[in-house]
Structure 1
Amino acid sequence: MKISIFDVAKKSGLSVVTVSRVINNAPSVREKNKERVLQAMKELGYHPSAAARSLARGRTGVIGLTLATLQDSFFDAVVKEIGDRLAEQGYFLALSVETGAGGGSGRLLFEEDRVDGVIVLSPMQEDGYELELLQKRIPYILLDNQQPSPSAPSVVVNNFKGGYEAARHLIGLGHRKIAHIAGPRAFLSSQDRERGFLQALAEEGLSPWSVESGEFNIASGYRIAEAWIAAESLPEAVFAADDHIALGVVDACKNAGLRVPRDLSVVGFDDQVLASELKPALTTVRQPADKIGRKGVELLLAAIEGQQRRHVTVQIDPELVVRDSTAASRSTNE
């Protein structure tokens, strides 16, 4: 027979209301009564469901997450971490995949009576999202946002440091003719990675061999590298703003009979799944998806409980992962 909250109340000799308050950690319950309820639950083997706890709190037990694409292994890893951490807390995760550059949709799914909070992952224009979520009075946080001073709790990666460490790695290998293929200027992450790259070169008295404007895709890296090869003018090394761009550079070199890293050292950014699976394995700057997802859940749950201050930005450092696509400059070995 299934044990219910009424059985716990009868066993403990207390009211159903008191038992419900204990289950939901209400501070108004006296310690002695709390112990009686917990003991009764233990003896009966009663485990309240997440749904029951949510209903008792007047909540849905659902967290919404909106993002622009699912075709990105880094985003996949962040979403998985968020889902795992929320499940530990008895929440379900609902996804909304937005298309286009506009922000602030979610009207069909993320209404105030359908979710307890919303996570906005890598929005292009978060102002629209923030306005709507504020109007609906839905607690929310931003991950990988583009505004440097957001009005909501947010988690960002130190992209400046990532670009800086990538350039320092190439400089340390003896390279002096170093190019950068940047991501779209609309992304703050692209701008910060480029700034970090330029800062590292400037500290050594170096100027970039070239700074190219790219897109976060393989075709972009391929096109730019192909143009360098056709002009018979190739840098010694290149830092690409993301792994897809870097893999396009590697592919163009292979098709032209050039070898990476012998003829060109290449560094990417993100540590996508393909970065370690293709040959040569890609040296890259890893974004810690687990830390981003975990901290995001922590901030959102605090916001739901009314314990989170606004204007809080948590910055997480990336990590340089050295693999096979970078090597010492040939000029230093000769």
Structure 2
Amino acid sequence: MKASIFDVARKSGLSVVTVSRVINNAASVRPANREKVLRAMRELDYQPNASARSLAKGRTGVIGLTLTTLHDSFFDAVVKEANERLAERGYLLSLSIATGYNDSFHHPLFQEDRVDGILLLSPIDEDEYVTELRRKNIPFVLIDNSESHSSVPSVVVDNFKGGCEATRHLIGLGHTSIAHIGGTGSFLSSRERERGFLFAMEEAGLAPHSVERGEFEISSGYRIAKRWIESGTLPSAVFAADDYIALGVLDACKNEGIRVPRDLSIVGFDDQHLAAEFRPALTTVRQPAGEIAAAAVDLLLGIMAEPAKPGTVVQIEPKLIVRESTAAVESGKTIKKRTTKEQEERT
């Protein structure tokens, strides 16, 4: 038999009124009680009647989420977690995949009365989105935004701290010749990771080997690392602004006979799915996708419940994940490119 709201109340040990308030995202429910109700709903597989609730409130029961690509395991994890969180609250998630605001302009998500709110994941042209959504009075939250907006509801990772921790890890292993490969300068995350790198280097009294500008792509890391190798200017360690860049560096080193981590230590950022699958497994700075999505959903539903609520910026802490691509500097070590004969003998 299908579970009812009364079953949820009994299971959670709370009143039907409290369960109803949780289902309707009332801000007055204490966090501990909200979690009890949500846990009971999950265990009973209780699904609120979204249609009836939407009609009663003049809402659609749909939350939109816009992103630029599906070929990114970090984005994928954020979307999945947001979908689960919203489903628990009786909402459907609708996706819009677009490279920028102009591509999204005529999408149904951005028309009045089509959605109750929108999550914008790493948006390009975010100023245009903010202006238009405010004009249409559609509640929204930015996730991993490209600019700093103190008055716009946002969920961001402390990329500066992540950059510091990655660089301090390499310094702690004895590396002094450390390079940074940044991502596209238009992204706040890229700029903050670079700022964290420079701060940690200055803090240790070290000058960067170099700061390179790249793209968040494997080919970008490969191209820069190959240039270093061919010119004989390879550093002893690299902090890359994302895992794809780091994997490109790792690929170039393998092709050119440079041993990781013995000859070169590499740290990435994001903790993409591939980071743990490559060998050596990549040391990286993890962006906690589940925590990011949960914070964004809670923030958006709070704004929808209280439209006059001022903009809030939620900052999430990243975490350094140490794997196999970093190691302590060997004393007296010299790095050289293996000859073709040496590579053949090794294989």
Which bracket does the TM-score occupy, shorter chain normalised?
0.7 to 0.9
In structure 2, do the counterparts of structure 1 residues 100 and 136 end up closer, same or farther at CA, with 3 Å as the change threshold?
A: closer
Question: How many angstroms apart in 2 are the aligned matches of 1:114 and 1:231?
Answer: 56
Tell me the SS of whatever aligns to 2:109.
coil
Contact 1:104 1:131 in 2 (8 A): no
Aligned to 2:156: 156
Question: How many angstroms apart in 2 are the aligned matches of 1:285 and 1:95?
Answer: 27
Question: How many angstroms apart in 1 are the aligned matches of 2:279 and 2:157?
Answer: 27
Where in structure 1 are there 5+ consecutive unaligned residues?
Answer: 5-19, 28-45
TM-score normalized by the length of structure 1: 0.84
Does residue 120 of structure 2 align to residue 120 of structure 1? yes
Deviations 1:127-169 (A, max 9, x none): 1111111111111111101221243211000000000000000
Larger Rg: 1
Question: How many angstroms apart in 1 are the aligned matches of 2:252 and 2:69?
Answer: 26
How far apart are residue 22 of structure 1 and its match? 12
Contact 1:117 1:304 in 2 (8 A): yes
Aligned counterparts, 1:240-279, within 5 A: 240-279=240-279
Aligned counterparts, 1:294-305, within 5 A: 294-305=294-305
Tell me the SS of whatever aligns to 1:132.
helix
Question: How many angstroms apart in 2 are the aligned matches of 1:25 and 1:213?
Answer: 44
Aligned to 2:37: none
Question: How many angstroms apart in 2 are the aligned matches of 1:93 and 1:310?
Answer: 24
How far apart are residue 117 of structure 1 and its match? 0.4
Aligned to 2:61: 61
Tell me the SS of whatever aligns to 2:113.
coil
2:286 maps to a residue whose letter is R
In structure 2, do the counterparts of structure 1 residues 305 and 332 end up closer, same or farther at CA, with 3 Å as the change threshold?
A: farther
Aligned to 2:140: 140
Aligned to 2:167: 167
Does residue 72 of structure 2 align to residue 80 of structure 1? no
Q: Which moved more, 1:313-322 or 1:302-311?
A: 302-311
In structure 2, do the counterparts of structure 1 residues 119 and 23 end up closer, same or farther at CA, with 3 Å as the change threshold?
A: closer
Tell me the SS of whatever aligns to 1:331.
coil
In structure 2, do the counterparts of structure 1 residues 135 and 104 end up closer, same or farther at CA, with 3 Å as the change threshold?
A: farther
Contact 1:181 1:240 in 2 (8 A): yes
Aligned to 1:288: 288
How far apart are residue 109 of structure 1 and its match? 3.1
Tell me the SS of whatever aligns to 1:314.
strand
Aligned to 1:230: 230
2:235 maps to a residue whose letter is P
Question: How many angstroms apart in 2 are the aligned matches of 1:47 and 1:289?
Answer: 25
In structure 2, do the counterparts of structure 1 residues 214 and 314 end up closer, same or farther at CA, with 3 Å as the change threshold?
A: same
Aligned counterparts, 1:102-113, within 5 A: 105=105, 107-113=107-113
1:108 maps to a residue whose letter is P
Tell me the SS of whatever aligns to 1:109.
helix
Aligned to 2:177: 177
Aligned to 1:12: none
Contact 1:104 1:129 in 2 (8 A): no
How far apart are residue 308 of structure 1 and its match? 6.5
Aligned counterparts, 1:17-36, within 5 A: none
Tell me the SS of whatever aligns to 2:108.
coil
Question: Identity, % of aligned pairs?
Answer: 64
Query: Aligned residue pairs: how many?
Result: 301
Question: How many angstroms apart in 1 are the aligned matches of 2:65 and 2:288?
Answer: 19
In structure 2, do the counterparts of structure 1 residues 228 and 306 end up closer, same or farther at CA, with 3 Å as the change threshold?
A: same
Question: How many angstroms apart in 1 are the aligned matches of 2:155 and 2:250?
Answer: 32
How far apart are residue 57 of structure 1 and its match? 1.2
Aligned counterparts, 1:199-238, within 5 A: 199-238=199-238
Question: How many angstroms apart in 1 are the aligned matches of 2:63 and 2:131?
Answer: 18
Aligned to 1:34: none
Contact 1:102 1:124 in 2 (8 A): no
Question: How many angstroms apart in 2 are the aligned matches of 1:22 and 1:73?
Answer: 31
Contact 1:219 1:248 in 2 (8 A): yes
2:225 maps to a residue whose letter is A
Question: How many angstroms apart in 1 are the aligned matches of 2:24 and 2:167?
Answer: 51
Tell me the SS of whatever aligns to 1:330.
coil
How far apart are residue 210 of structure 1 and its match? 0.7
Question: How many angstroms apart in 2 are the aligned matches of 1:308 and 1:155?
Answer: 19
2:311 maps to a residue whose letter is H
Aligned to 1:306: 306
Aligned to 2:239: 239
Deviations 1:31-52 (A, max 9, x none): xxxxxxxxxxxxxxx9851221
Q: Which moved more, 1:264-273 or 1:145-154?
A: 145-154
Where in structure 2 are there 5+ consecutive unaligned residues?
Answer: 5-19, 28-45, 335-347
Contact 1:66 1:96 in 2 (8 A): yes
Aligned to 2:338: none
Question: How many angstroms apart in 2 are the aligned matches of 1:26 and 1:283?
Answer: 42
Aligned to 1:198: 198
Contact 1:268 1:282 in 2 (8 A): yes
Contact 2:238 2:266 in 1 (8 A): yes
